């Protein structure tokens, strides 16, 4: 699936006007989830915007307690009702835990894909072995894999798998959950470029082939600033310096 280079993570966004403003600013990829409790907010924001629906990739996720086949269909229909849409571009398995059973869960996603209710099957928070199993079971291609990715947590093995298999790696919490300004290497690079640590984190991720960060932002200022990070090109030595950050701190483990 071809995704814009930066999308909008919507977890915690409670105002539809924020979504409409994001679309006005140029965001073309909105990421929500059943468990976020704000699909209605995202849908209302879409409805308030003048941006054509076909110009926006809308993604949501089925939570772990709804991964039995009947529950996948039922909760997806509920998600579509909340979003005010007939279908979504990308539907993820949010986490392969609880009710997740590859041989039962994934054919339900295939069914939604085959009938055109969704344009792509996404996976989220999968390990390499879980990705391999899913690829064997799914008839649809893996459209995207969404994982935590920032300077403090760099799952290089998952990026390699994504590149080898031709799907994008969608990076959530790309600003290290508000800790970008605490990472020495990131701060030093930001000072050298006279920009913010947040912009550096995003530019670093965008520079990685196949990675699509989805930062959350609520104000127009931050929404615009995140997109402006696309114009920041870091030198190879600066990219390598951030690559070398101690990367063992997963902020959102299972």
Mind telling me the catalytic residues?
36
Positive/negative CA dihedral, 53, 146, 158, 26 = positive
Q: Which residue has the tokens 């849409």?
A: 85
- Are the C-beta atoms of residues 30 and 22 closer than 8 Å to each other? yes
How far apart CA 13 and CA 41 sit, in angstroms, is 8
In the chain, the largest separation of any two C-alpha atoms, in whole Å, equals 54
- Are the C-beta atoms of residues 209 and 168 closer than 8 Å to each other? no
HSE-CB at 184 with a 13 A cutoff on CA atoms is: 4
- 142, β-bridge pairs: 121
β-pairing, 8-9 vs 29-31, is: parallel
**How many angstroms from the chain centroid is the CA of residue 253?**
16
How far apart CA 130 and CA 149 sit, in angstroms, is 18
- Are the C-beta atoms of residues 121 and 91 closer than 8 Å to each other? yes
130, two tokens: 């879980």
- Are the C-beta atoms of residues 147 and 169 closer than 8 Å to each other? yes
3-state secondary structure of 215: coil
């Amino acid at each position: 699936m071809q995704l814009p280079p930066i999308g909008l993570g919507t977890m915690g966004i409670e105002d539809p006007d924020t979504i409409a403003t994001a679309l006005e600013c140029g965001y073309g990829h909105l990421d929500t989830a059943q468990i976020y409790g704000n699909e209605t907010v995202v849908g209302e924001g879409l409805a308030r915007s003048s941006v054509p629906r076909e110009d926006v990739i809308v993604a949501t996720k089925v939570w772990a307690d709804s991964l039995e086949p009947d529950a996948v269909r039922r909760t997806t229909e509920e998600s579509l009702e909340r979003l005010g849409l007939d279908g979504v571009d990308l539907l993820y398995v949010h986490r392969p835990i609880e009710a997740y059973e590859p041989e039962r869960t994934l054919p339900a996603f295939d069914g939604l894909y085959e009938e055109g209710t969704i344009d792509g099957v996404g996976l989220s928070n999968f390990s390499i072995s879980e990705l391999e199993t899913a690829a064997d079971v799914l008839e649809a291609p893996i459209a995207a894999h969404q994982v935590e990715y920032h300077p403090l947590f760099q799952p290089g093995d998952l990026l390699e798998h994504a590149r080898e298999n031709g799907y994008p790696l969608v990076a959530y919490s790309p600003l290290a959950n508000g800790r970008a300004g605490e990472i020495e290497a990131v701060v030093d690079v930001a000072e050298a470029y006279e920009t913010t640590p947040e912009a550096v984190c995003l530019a670093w991720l965008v520079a990685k082939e196949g990675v699509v960060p989805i930062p959350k932002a609520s104000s127009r200022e931050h929404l615009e600033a995140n997109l402006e990070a696309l114009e920041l090109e870091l030198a190879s030595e600066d990219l390598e310096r951030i690559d070398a950050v101690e990367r063992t701190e997963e902020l959102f483990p299972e």
